[in-house]
Amino acid sequence: MSSPLNPEHTSLIRTILKDKFDLEDFTVHKIERAKNNHVYRIDLNRPFSEAAPSSGIINHFLHHSVLKPYSSQIPVGTSKLLLRISKRDVSLENSVRIANEVAFLALARDALSHMALFSTLSNDSLPYNSIIPRVYAWEQYKDDGSDLDSVSGLTTRATPGWILEEYMAGTNLTPKDISGLDQETQTLVLRQMAQVIKSLQDYTLPETVGGYGGLGFDYVANLQPNQQESISGAARIVNTLMVIPCGGPFSTYPDLCKAMCTWQLHASDQSAHLNRWKDYRQPNGRLLRERLDAFFTSATGLNHVLAKISESGEFETENRPTLIHGDFAFPNLLFDPSTYRLTAVMDFDFAHIGSPISEWLFSFWDIPGLLPGSAEPLGRLRDWLLSGFPSEDGHGSDKANDDDGNASKKGTAHPEAKSNDPPNFQSNKWNLPRAWDAALRHVGVTHRPSTIRAAGDIADLWWFSQELCQAYYFMESFIQKKSSEQLEKMKEHSATTLDKYLVQWGF
């Protein structure tokens, strides 16, 4: 049974559809599974028509004359829409997250244009021309400070950001579903997914996007003909703040990594639960915070680790600015249940411009295919991702060379990883990760953990930064569901993990 609709959201939906499209006859359904947004499916009781009623002709003219950057007109005959209203309590950068997602959708749509398909799933009888949804209208989060709470210092009245986009039909699959498919169908599904990753990696970014971080719009006038490639509605896509709080934009990937570490350390200062890590002592009596401060300030600490990463092999080539989905997993993919063809890639909340290795630090978590840090290698998974999976008989590795003939570039494996090697590779949970790795190699994904020399070291630094202050410590909805004992156990786990990394780096 679905929960009742939020009255404020209902009012916002009616305002958007009336003011921008002169639509009043529709039904709203809440999609329950969304985590970072309030998502609603809007069923138009009459298919969308380009001819607007006389009562709404002014609003209709305005919408079709002045579209927001990178938004499209609703196709005639459309009967379903999707509205995503951003949640505030999810530890994302509200000031840029909507524009970031719209910009990323535009570039991803271009990057994946060769994967266009015609699906019979849509009730609109309209062919999809992309697996990336079109954006019809959007508004950034607004906070004008008109209602400032004297106690909290926070504005109590703010307009949430939202995106009205194309409704994409299809069915979610789970890892269990994939594992139960025959080998031919499983291969079809995984290779389509791998092709998405390859296309995002291979995409040539606009000249206006040369760094790392989030994406936004630079509104310009008097455009020249040669400026049109990355420009829509008198706005061009440019680098801006990272949607995952850490500042930005950044000229190099190590700069992004350093900013994330620094931001997370400062965030721990603001958390009442972490208390700046001042109450954790090691057996020798030294405070964890003292060790952290030493790592961040010492010449042999954070800057030294970053310098070593930057010096590894062809660093700039292997870590060039790349489109990163940031949550590429089965809940965000839709398939045609009759053909197992990929019909949609959804939910770009964490999308950003990062290094190719960034995708392995955010995505594939349900396969599992995230690249773990050395402090928690997940059995042999880290070693396999860095060095190659065992062959089907469980002996040796798949290949000494990739399908394109390039030798794998082994990353730093954890010295104790082999102690947790499962006894029978072929009959356990590692079959799907291995099949996913094979799909990536087959379609020619150039940059993977096994081909990026600094992959293991980057992963260590990334997971270290996350343990400094997990995002959920600032999510009241999460904190309220946990007992003090549970919170303390989580804090203790992070402290233990931080200790392992500090010891590894000599602190």
Contacts of 15 (CB under 8 A, 6+ apart): none
Residue 340 lies inside a defined structural domain of this protein:
no
Q: What is the pLDDT of residue 300?
A: 96
pLDDT band with cut points at 50, 70 and 90 for residue 356:
very high
Of 209-218, 419-428, 429-438, give the lowest mean pLDDT range: 419-428
Tell me which long-range contacts 150-158 makes (C-beta under 8 A, separation of at least 24).
158/88
pLDDT band with cut points at 50, 70 and 90 for residue 157:
low
Q: What is the pLDDT of residue 394?
A: 56
Structural domains counted in the chain: 2
The CA distance from 358 to 365, in Å, is: 13
Domain around 441? 253-329+356-504
The CA distance from 415 to 324, in Å, is: 30
Contacts of 107 (CB under 8 A, 6+ apart): 203, 205, 206, 215, 237, 323
Contacts of 484 (CB under 8 A, 6+ apart): none
The CA distance from 254 to 310, in Å, is: 7
The CA distance from 230 to 106, in Å, is: 9
Q: DSSP H helical segments within 180-235, as ranges?
A: 183-202
Residue 288 lies inside a defined structural domain of this protein:
yes
Give the up-direction half-sphere exposure of residue 290: CA atoms within 13 A in the CB hemisphere: 8
The CA distance from 502 to 372, in Å, is: 17
User: Do residues 160 and 269 both lie within one domain?
Assistant: no
Phi, psi of 240 (to 5 degrees): -155, -160
Residue 191 lies inside a defined structural domain of this protein:
no
Residues 389-410: what's their mean pLDDT? 52
Joined together, the tokens standing for residue 400 give 């000494």
Name the domain boundary from 168, 196, 213. 168
Residue 375 lies inside a defined structural domain of this protein:
yes
Amino acid at 504: Q
Residue 25 pLDDT exceeds 50: yes
Q: Facing residues of 37 across strands? A: 86
Cβ–Cβ under 8 Å, residues 267 and 280: no
User: Do residues 61 and 163 both lie within one domain?
Assistant: yes
User: Do residues 148 and 15 both lie within one domain?
Assistant: yes
The CA distance from 367 to 436, in Å, is: 8
Predicted confidence (pLDDT) per residue in 261-292, tens digit: 999 999 999 998 898 998 888 777 889 999 99
User: Do residues 389 and 497 both lie within one domain?
Assistant: yes
Q: What is the pLDDT of residue 129?
A: 75
Pairing of strands 26-31, 80-86: unpaired
Residue 15 pLDDT exceeds 60: yes
User: Do residues 480 and 385 both lie within one domain?
Assistant: yes
Name the domain boundary from 168, 198, 218. 168
Higher pLDDT: 281 or 203? It is 203
User: Do residues 295 and 405 both lie within one domain?
Assistant: yes
Of 127-131, 325-329, 386-390, 475-479, give the lowest mean pLDDT range: 127-131
User: Do residues 163 and 40 both lie within one domain?
Assistant: yes
Q: What is the pLDDT of residue 219?
A: 82
Q: Which of 83, 80, 74, 71 is nearest to 137 (CA)?
A: 71
Residue 321 lies inside a defined structural domain of this protein:
yes
Residues 419-428: what's their mean pLDDT? 43
Q: What is the pLDDT of residue 313?
A: 74
Percentage of residues in the chain having pLDDT higher than 70: 81
Q: What is the pLDDT of residue 156?
A: 46
Name the domain boundary from 168, 200, 218. 168
Residue 221 lies inside a defined structural domain of this protein:
no
Show the beta-strand stretches assigned E in 2-92: 26-31, 37-44, 80-86
Predicted confidence (pLDDT) per residue in 429-479, tens digit: 899 999 999 999 999 999 999 999 999 999 999 999 999 999 888 888 788
Residue 162 lies inside a defined structural domain of this protein:
yes
Residue 396 pLDDT exceeds 70: no
Residue 146 pLDDT exceeds 80: no
Residue 293 pLDDT exceeds 70: yes
User: Do residues 162 and 270 both lie within one domain?
Assistant: no
Residues 72-78: what's their mean pLDDT? 94
Residue 406 pLDDT exceeds 60: no
Residue 233 lies inside a defined structural domain of this protein:
no
- CB burial string 122-131: b at 16+ within 10 A, e below: bebebebebb
How many whole angstroms from its chain centre is CA 72? 23
- Mean pLDDT (the chain, rounded): 85
Residue 312 pLDDT exceeds 70: yes
User: Do residues 151 and 260 both lie within one domain?
Assistant: no
| Ramachandran class of 70: left when φ > 0, alpha when ψ lies in -120 to 50, beta otherwise | left
Higher pLDDT: 234 or 507? It is 507
Percentage of residues in the chain having pLDDT higher than 90: 69
